[in-house]
Amino acid sequence: MSKQQIRFGVIGLGLMGREFASAAARWMHLLNLDVEPVITGICDSNPALFDWFAANFPSIQIKTGDYHDLLNSDQIDAIYCAVPHNLHQQFYIDIIAAGKHLLGEKPFGIDRAANAAILDAINAHPEVLVRCSSELPFYPGGQRILQSIKENRFGKIIEVEAGFLHSSDIDPNKPINWKRMIDINGEYGCMGDLGMHVFHIPLRAGWQPKNVRAALSNIVTERFNKDGVKVPCATWDNAILLCDVESEQHGSFPMTLKTYRIAPGETNTWYINIYGTEQSVRFSTRQPKSYYTMDYKSGARQTWNEESLGYTSAYPTITGGIFEFGFSDSILQMWAAFCDEVAHGRGGMQQSFYCATPEETAAHHAVLTAALESHKRQSVVTI
């Protein structure tokens, strides 16, 4: 099968830039996909990061510290941009204006105003596909949750809980980095960093919160900087958002969304639980093979069933269904969905779950901005 190539520039070669590159390097893992990414350009303000890319990707033609070099190049069709939040607005707007497709990172603008400016640029350039990175719903358990939502066998939804939990910040000696600085990471703190992961499936289900009561905590208020000096660490570590949802398809119910940097013992734990009067479902990446369901009829016992999911992915791969699925597999699947949509449009995709949309990022910004207000006023804020 001859494959359509999408020539990518990567801006921001840190943690996430390398994850994308690694997914592109094992594209042969995917079966039956008629499109593939080729990395032709890289950009970072730190040139020391070029070597790993240059050593592993002979396709790279442009290495630069100025992202405009990628935008001006006719060797590049699309950009993956993974830079600190304070740069999202300018970088994303310039990428879109240059006519390059964009998979941008969350939170898609440091705040709501930045997000709105990015959406204006998108509206002015309908010819480019713009999506926001959010890979965790591509876990087999995430896909099963989406299927359950479609089947809607919950009866009346009692409650939805979703969250994203980390714990390494519990260490008071962990040095400060940009994700803990308000001017670079943003006022949202942990909510901006982790929120899109938590919102993606609920928003896709049509569960836009109509209000929010937020409890935000700053637990470690000082950290060492790179010179060993203690400096203020003012970002929110943990956030609990209790929302009311009114959904056309599923009625009204409460939804609790948690984004924690300090949840003792948790590492990149993403979960979503939907409790209903007739069916409940639970999934967490903490037990990535297990999908829990409980069907209930009047008078019956209430028993959770655990199904071992194996490797059941949105896009078929060479990996046998008896094996396990992990984080880097979810990144590969997300990239497959993005490239599939660039090549074939939403209607022509091989499967129906597309990456998070700019409108979904705007919906999550509306809640996060209201959450800041709610915490400040200690009251319920209507969205």
Q: Which residues bind ligand NAD (CB under 6 A)?
A: 11-16, 43-46, 49, 67, 82-85, 87, 105-106, 133, 135, 193
Least separation in angstroms between residue 108's CB and ligand NAD is 8
Q: CB-side exposure of 85: number of CA atoms within 13 Å?
A: 28
CB of 278 to ligand NAD, least distance (A): 34
Residue 217 beta carbon to ligand NAD: minimum distance, rounded to whole angstroms: 20
| Cβ distance to ligand NAD smaller for residue 46 or 308 | 46
Nearer residue to ligand NAD within complex by CB, 160 or 334: 334
Residue 200 structure tokens:
């993606």
Residue closest to ligand NAD when measured from CB atoms: 14
Residue 56 C-beta: closest distance to ligand NAD, Å = 16
Nearer to ligand NAD by Cβ, of 89 and 350: the residue is: 89
Shortest distance, position 44 Cβ to ligand NAD, whole Å: 4
Q: Give whichever of 133 and 350 is closer to ligand NAD, judged by the CB atom.
A: 133
User: Both tokens of residue 345?
Assistant: 């449009």
Distance from C-alpha of 93 to C-alpha of 32, rounded to nearest angstrom: 33
Cβ at position 31, least distance to ligand NAD in Å: 24
Which residue's entry shows tokens 């997300």? 334
Q: Rounded to the nearest whole angstrom, what is the least distance from the CB of residue 170 to ligand NAD in the complex?
A: 19
Which residue, 168 or 249, has its beta carbon nearer to ligand NAD?
168
Q: What is the dihedral of CA 35, 36, 39, 41, to 10 degrees?
A: 0
Helix axes 327-344, 15-25, angle to 10 degrees: 70
Cis geometry, peptide bond prior to residue 107 (ω within 30 degrees of 0): yes
Least distance (Å) from ligand NAD to the CB of residue 12? 4
Cα–Cα distance measured from residue 371 to residue 92, given in angstroms and rounded to the nearest whole number: 25
Nearest to 75 by CA among 63, 87, 86: 63
Give the Cα separation of 200 and 270 in Å (integer). 12
Name which of 192 and 276 has its Cβ closer to ligand NAD.
192
Cβ(282)–Cβ(266) below 8 Å: no
Quick one: 339 or 381, whose CB is closer to ligand NAD? 339
Tokens encoding 123: 């509206």
Copy the structure tokens of residue 337.
């969905």
- Return the structure tokens found at 243: 């929302």
Nearer to ligand NAD, 84 or 189 (CB): 84
Yes or no: say if 38 and 10 are a contact pair by the CB < 8 Å rule: no
Strand partners, 41: 9, 62
Q: What is the DSSP letter of 30?
A: B
